[in-house]
Amino acid sequence: MEGLFTANNVWMMICTALVFFMHTGFAFLEIGLTRQKNTINILFKNIFIITVGLLLYYIAGFNLMYPGFAEGSAGFIDFAGFGIAAPENGMTPEYADGGYTWWTDFLFQGMFAATAATIVSGAVAERMKIGPFMIFTVIYVGLVYPIAGSWKWGGGFLDQMGFYDFAGSTLVHSVGGWAALMAVWLLGSRIGKFKDGKPQAIPGHSIPLATAGVLILWLGWFGFNGGSVLSADPELTSLTLVTTCLAAAAGGVVAALVSFIKYKNLDLTMFLNGILGGLVGITAGADVMTPESAIIIGAIAGALIVFAVAFVDAIKLDDPVGAIAVHLICGIWGTLAVGIFSTNPEHTFLIQLTGVACYAVFCLVCSFLIIFTLKKTVGIRVSEKEEIEGLDAHEHGMDAYPDFRLNEH
């Protein structure tokens, strides 16, 4: 028993490290798909999210998300106190059926918490003031995400209803996606994005970096989904990794194919976002899908990416990295797919739809209140001059790629 407990805990710690490494992937993807003059700004936001996110999760987030709802509680909000004091059995096989220790539990879940705000970071890139973004991150990661997470993963009302989200198509990706949608709408588009009502391409400065970012994210998903088994169970972890990878592959291939049919060119960025769409899509049900179902879910997610990106442009929303298409649209699809393809007959489409609707209302209302308040008080958008010259120079006084030749004597 002791050996199995140790093996389980080591697997969970490896998965924690893989999810942490995803922040490198997000950073590379976001800077790769945006312009050189805003690189420092994006990197600063990503580092801020993971550092402050972990501290907030320690202070209150973990106990907001896992409050141990009392018998008869409505299961909407509860709080188990500040800090992360371990229970008596927290380091023994009695805790979590011997899957991991209390400390590992905190760290693994803390990595997920930071991911939700990272999704927003990419969507608001190149035009949002750094101060208001930091305030938004503190409130959203510190309060909104843990409360939303408690409804399912903390044993709240949606969990009691039978809603299923294995690793966070809704709890992580859509929670970030709804906020991204609201932020993009309240911010407005970048200068030059729409000309005479038509969307214009604003190319990213490093597609190789974006490609590396996607491959790192795919690697990180081995921990994201593999760790969500919450033990090193041989059958479930291996099935989960197979379905995850097949969905990613199908998403990429179908996105590239549909994009080629629609636009007559082999668009690498669509290929990359298709992979991410497949990953987000399978995340809600990776442990309850057959490999065939995973391929179908990923393929549909890949097709959705192409049409969602076009739709976001058509309604005059400017999302530089495709975060809304990837995390929100594919997150919704993946959650609903559980109700269609799950091998567990207890998972129903109607309950999955109810869960999606609950998160949509909560996240849209919360993100609107936070961002609209910031807009009316301190302002959320940089000046036209700052946007044209770049946020790196104005917000940070730095250049991501200084030309050292100018400094040679």
Which tens digit of pLDDT belongs to each residue from 14-53? 999 999 999 999 999 999 999 999 999 999 999 999 999 9
Which tens digit of pLDDT belongs to each residue from 206-237? 999 999 999 999 999 999 999 999 999 999 99
- Predicted local confidence at residue 404, as pLDDT: 60
Which tens digit of pLDDT belongs to each residue from 315-328? 999 999 999 999 99
Spell 242-255 as b/e; 16+ CB within 10 A means b: ebbbbbbbbbbbbb
| Cα gap 363→148, rounded to integer Å | 8
- Predicted local confidence at residue 73, as pLDDT: 87
Which tens digit of pLDDT belongs to each residue from 229-288? 999 999 999 999 999 999 999 999 999 999 999 999 999 999 999 999 999 999 999 999
pTM above threshold 0.85? yes
Spatial CA neighbour of 279 closest among 299, 258, 259, 260: 299
One-letter amino acid of 99: G
Which tens digit of pLDDT belongs to each residue from 285-316? 999 999 999 999 999 999 999 999 999 999 99
Q: For a pLDDT cut of 70, what percent of the chain falls above it?
A: 99
- Predicted local confidence at residue 197, as pLDDT: 85
* Tokens (6 digits) for 34: 């945006």
- Predicted local confidence at residue 115, as pLDDT: 84
* Crossing angle (nearest 10°) for helices 207-226 and 2-32: 160
- Predicted local confidence at residue 402, as pLDDT: 87
Tokens 């090193």 belong to residue:
232
203 exposure class (CB count in 10 Å sphere: 0-12, 13-18, 19+): exposed
Q: Is the pLDDT of residue 1 over 80?
A: no
Read off the pLDDT band of 409 (50, 70, 90).
very low
Q: For residues 364 and 177, is the Cβ–Cβ distance under 8 A?
A: no
| Cα gap 97→196, rounded to integer Å | 60
3-state secondary structure the chain: CHHHHHHHHHHHHHHHHHHHHHHHHHHHHHHHCCCHHHHHHHHHHHHHHHHHHHHHHHHHHHHHHCCCCCCCCCCCCCCCCCCCCCCCCCCCCCHHHHCCCHHHHHHHHHHHHHHHHHHHHHHCCCCECHHHHHHHHHHHHHHHHHHHHHCCCCCCHHHHHCCCCCCCHHHHHHHHHHHHHHHHHHHCCCCCCEECCEECCCCCCCHHHHHHHHHHHHHHHHHHHHHHHCCCCHHHHHHHHHHHHHHHHHHHHHHHHHHHHHHCCCCHHHHHHHHHHHHHHHCCCCCCCCHHHHHHHHHHHHHHHHHHHHHHHHCCCCCCCCHHHHHHHHHHHHHHHHHHHCCCCCCCHHHHHHHHHHHHHHHHHHHHHHHHHHHHHCCCECCHHHHHHCHHHHHHCCCCCCCHHHHCC
Average pLDDT over residues 146-167: 97
| Cα gap 1→307, rounded to integer Å | 50
| Cα gap 116→180, rounded to integer Å | 10
Domains contained in the chain, CATH given: 2-400 (1.10.3430.10)
**Mean pLDDT score of the chain, rounded to an integer?**
95
Which tens digit of pLDDT belongs to each residue from 47-96? 999 999 999 999 999 999 999 898 888 899 999 999 999 999 999 999 99
